[in-house]
A and B are shown apart, each in its own frame.
Chain A
Amino acid sequence: MPKIEVRRDRFFQLIGKQMTIEELEQTLTSAKGEVDEVDEPILKLELNDTNRPDLWSTAGLARLLRILGGGERPVYGFFSRPSEMKEVENRTVQVDPELKNIRPYICAFAVQGPPLDEATLIDLIQSQEKLCENYGRKRKSIAMGIYRSTLIQYPVRYDAVDPDQTRFQPLGGDRVLSLREINREHPKGQEYGSIVDGFPKFPFLQDSRGEVLSFPPVINSAAIGAVEEGDTELFVELTGTDMDSLLLATSIMACDFADLGYTVLPVQIQYPYDTPYGPTIVTPFYFQKPQQTEKTAVEKLLGESFSDEKILQALARMGCRAEIRSGTITLYPPEYRNDFLHGVDIIEDVMIGVGMDHFKPVTPTDFTVGRLSEAEAVARKVVMLMVGLGFQEMIFNYLGSRKDFIEKMQISGDEMIQIANPLSENYEFLRNSILPSLLQAESVSGSAPYPHHIFEVGKVAKKDPEDNYGSKTYNHLGFLSAQADAGFNLISAQLAALLYYLNVEYTLEETEDPRFIPGRAGAVYVQGKPAGVIGELSPAVLENWGIEVPCTAGELCLDLL
């Protein structure tokens, strides 16, 4: 969930109205947001909708709240459309054909306006971070650069260059380095270099004189790429791999600049290859398609019918322009949004636009029969019997270490499911038996008055090459008794009582199991199949766990009973 910081006064000024924190919290729910922390003059806000990157900036979030509060929907005249490309004067970017398979797309625009102040600069850095890190998947699909446009001579060239032969001084560096050296030595290179490391050539942005703008998606140049307070003319470019998300991020940045009082100047991109919107595009570009749904669908999903006016009003409150003809709603997404995948996305905006308070809960009337799963029903029977046998029910975590699950148990662990990317070796295996969990409990409970009788009914998983998933999950019972005179007779009697009341006939066959004392371990057979084991735990195993009281233990697969 993206979190952003806004400066209270600036934020409320953009919204056009002062609010208390409580009022802000209330109105933020319509943006699926919440106030995370107030640290005057900074408000830390959390935005939950990962499909609404337009809300992850002071200006963007303020825009929605302004419109919700009755403000005008802003008109952005600088957008080109497939049918109408805007005038760009000399502002063009030429793309190298070799970039097609490296980082194919670039969008750009320039802005002119009031001198950059500190607050705007902080907001710009935040937008860049949210759009490129969250929405742009750590710059993989979107990276952004902002430059002083007065230093740029068009056309700008987006080239694929030899990473060893191309050199410039990166922002935050004290000398000239090759692109390869930047990836090796510069902190940003170490962080983002891997995005392009595998390619023979790297993306490179320079102006017509060969002055370096940046090495996208890694780092700007120290010269043109250093933006400071007081700058009034900027050049903004975004590079990436997915045209739609790139265009959307570009639109979001442009609309934010416009809302802050800047004039947005479109830039023409000339591709030597085709793109989803043709080889020549002027950006910012309105690429969104209208989305439709039926009024009947609104009524069905929201459980209530609304007049056309009410629907259009609700959508307008959400910043959306729409029309209704013969019961079909057509919505034209705002330039900064692309989250209308399906008609249901319109319906949700209607819901929020109407306001949640409008909808009153209705008690459902469909009749259905409630029922526990079979496994739960069996588990409850077993729990009841084990409690009757004097056992304390336990509940354990399912992940554990090689040491606990394999080494201390003296087993091979061949059938144990291992995690390929463990966060810690303490949670590297999925248990295939409840016994290690019970032994761990015993090992930390030496001071609890004896005798100890503990059990768990829970799940285990084991590899199974026959299975589609290569493993199977089972419901197991594991039980352990620790007392000075714990012996085979005790556990055999416990097993006999349990299975008698479960109506299960069984036989006990001597078995060799490294966890138990030889000659004191029995495999439990039910209908000819092995369904469990009981026995006196081997002193070696007890010693591995640091247990100093004799223990008997058993485990049964409840699915096989």
Chain B
Amino acid sequence: MGIDVAGTVRGLHPLEVRVLRAYPAGALVTVQKLEEDLSFNTGQANQVFSWLSTKGLLEESSRRTVRLFELTDLGKDWVNRGTPEERILEHLRSKGPSSLPEIAVALTMESKDAGSAFGALSREGVLGMDAEKRAVVKDPSKIGRIQKIRTLLNRAAEQGYLAEDELSPEELNLIQGMSKKRMATDSPFRTVERAEVEYRLTRDVEPVRKELEQRGITGDEVGALTPEMLVKKTWKQVTFRKYNIKIPPTRVLMGRTNAYCDFLRSVKDKLCSLGFEEFDGPLVETEFWNSDALFMPQFHSARDIHDVYYVKDPTHAKMIEQPYLDQVAAAHENGWKTGSRGWRYTFDREFTRRLILRSQGTVLSAKQLPRAKIPGKYFGIVRCFRYDQVDATHLSDFYQTEGIVIGESVNLKTHLGFLRMFAEEIAGATEVKYVPGYFPFTEPSIEVHIKHPILGWFELGGSGIFRPEVTEPLGVHVPVLAWGIGIDRMALMHLGLNDLRELFSYNIENVRLRKGK
């Protein structure tokens, strides 16, 4: 059972490389050894052992627990300022005999600490008491214990710790007397237990090491190219470490357009490419433009209170543009000059000013008529509002895609030509079917059904040639093709969704991850 040498080599960190090149298979290594031999710090050494173990290049050989002594804050203070015993001795040497209270005050020491330090030193014969009960230096040659403590403190300060097995029995005895339980603050040392592990490089190290040598990889390769290397031209002296480029990258939170908006923009672009000019208008409209101008009788069942949203305040527009108001009203009542007999009822001029939220995009087609170019083609992807319970297939506000084609050449056959164009260009239809439809404002009216490569047969949209009762009162005397296409189903399919509410999602993460097909 061998290992994938090439793959392993590719995945090696420079620290690993240095270890592998420094020791042969079977060699025993420890943290301490790497610190000494390769100048690793403890963190690096532990890290490299962990990496090499997972690659099967290292195995644990033995493990033992070592007791260490570390300096406490008090111990560090003793290192810098001296132990209480050292300080008392120094005080007496420089200032001469002093009473214990005097010493405590002069060295800002607790009396009991001064007392116990004096006690220890006088037991060893270093200090004594004179006739005036003052402390005096008696035999300075007996300061062996103090010196040993000083040595231990300095060694501990230098190494950061003292290991139990580095100490003589005498030293151990001494230091144990100065170490209390963990975290104790009134002792200069605390004891800590650490696992010391010895590892052995496995047999698999050999082929890897050979491969490294063969490829000349030393572990001294450089990670990042820095500006400094470029400035100082040191890049010429280094080789760059090869990265494992298969590691999954971190995620970028990028700025991005919305997939549904992209879809709407693509439809707009296609319509522009077919020669259509975009129109736009206010969200609040009058009954006049929303329905009356489209020759929908005011008593029509689709114009019930429960089909549109009425504005609360103000309730009515100040006025409706003339002469359109008079002409539309006359068309409803008696056909005006359009050749129609009209709907034959009294047109309500108060109701026609009633303000509502636009319920159909055809409003904008009607409003475009008085100012349209001839020939002209217009479209809008228009937010509309409907009095509907919101669910997966109904929204209270949504987009309708609508437009008109104006010109002498508009007739049923060019009408079908346009529908075919929409079907092929916008919906990507493979087959198209035209059937008679009904809309109150067009005659004839045609529905276009298409066979979509994925969705199968469905109704793409409705269309028709505006009735003369719509166009003539608005001052247009040429045929006008009006069309509307339903792009929501295509949008859902495009985005892989099945709920219209998702198009207007508030969930940032969903929107971020969404993409068109």
Contact = CB atoms under 8 A, between A and B. Distances in A.
30 contacts: A49-B438, A300-B479, A342-B340, A342-B467, A352-B436, A360-B416, A361-B413, A361-B416, A362-B416, A363-B414, A364-B418, A366-B409, A368-B276, A375-B280, A387-B255, A392-B256, A393-B257, A394-B506, A394-B511, A419-B357, A420-B310, A423-B396, A426-B390, A430-B284, A441-B507, A444-B507, A448-B512, A461-B284, A470-B317, A473-B282
B449 to A, nearest CB: 10
Given A447-B509, A469-B355, A342 B417 contact: no
A36 interface: no
A370 interface: yes
B255 A392 contact: yes
A399 interface: yes
Interface in B411-458: 411-414, 416-421, 434-438, 440, 443-446
B327 interface: no
Given A50-B438, A370-B276, A469-B355, A430 B283 contact: yes
B255 A419 contact: no
Interface residues of B, number: 104
Contacts of A380: 265
A351 B444 contact: yes
A112 interface: no
A348 B443 contact: yes
Nearest to B446: A356
A29 interface: yes
Nearest to B409: A366
A472 B282 contact: yes
Contact of A356 (B306, B313, B436): B436
B268 interface: yes
A468 B317 contact: yes
Interface of B: 251, 253-258, 260-261, 265, 268, 271-286, 299-302, 305-306, 309-315, 317-319, 335, 338-345, 355, 357, 373, 375-377, 383, 385, 387-390, 395-397, 405, 407, 409-414, 416-421, 434-438, 440, 443-446, 465, 467-469, 479, 503-504, 506-509, 511-512
A511 interface: no
Contacts of B277: 368-371
A61 to B, nearest CB: 15
A391 interface: yes
B286 A469 contact: yes
Interface string A21-48: 0000000011010000000000000001
Given A48-B437, A376-B278, A370 B418 contact: no
Given A420-B311, A449-B251, A430 B506 contact: no
Closest 4 CB pairs of A and B: A303-B411, A370-B272, A303-B413, A361-B416
Contact of A363 (B301, B314, B345, B421): B421
B385 A399 contact: yes
A421 B310 contact: yes
Contact of B436 (A351, A376, A392, A463): A351
A157 interface: no
A394 B276 CA distance: 26
A453 B280 contact: no
A395 B276 contact: no
Contacts of A387: 255-257
A298 B388 CA distance: 40
> How many residues of A sit at the interface, in one of the four size bands?
35 or more
B388 to A, nearest CB: 7
Contacts, number: 275
A372 interface: yes
Contacts of B343: 341
B506 A32 contact: no
A91 B183 CA distance: 116
Residue among A352, A392, A454 with most chain B CB within 10 A: A392
B284 A469 contact: yes
Contact of B417 (A344, A363, A392, A430): A363
Given A469-B355, A473-B284, A445 B310 contact: no
Interface string A209-225: 00000000000000000
Contacts of B318: 468, 470
Contacts of B317: 468-470
A473 B383 CA distance: 12
A364 B417 contact: yes
B506 A345 contact: no
A368 B375 contact: yes
B437 to A, nearest CB: 6
Contacts of B357: 419, 430
Contacts of B276: 368, 370
Contact of B443 (A347, A417, A471): A347
B454 to A, nearest CB: 22
A134 B438 contact: no
A395 B261 contact: yes
B423 to A, nearest CB: 10
A432 to B, nearest CB: 11
Residue among B268, B299, B440, B508 with most chain A CB within 10 A: B508
A45 to B, nearest CB: 14
Given A302-B412, A419-B311, A419-B312, A341 B469 contact: yes
B412 A341 contact: no
A501 interface: no
Nearest to A373: B278
Contacts of A73: none
A367 B275 contact: yes
Interface in A367-404: 367-373, 375-376, 380, 383, 386-399
A457 to B, nearest CB: 8
Given A356-B436, A366-B407, A461-B283, A301 B412 contact: yes
B298 to A, nearest CB: 12
B444 A423 contact: no
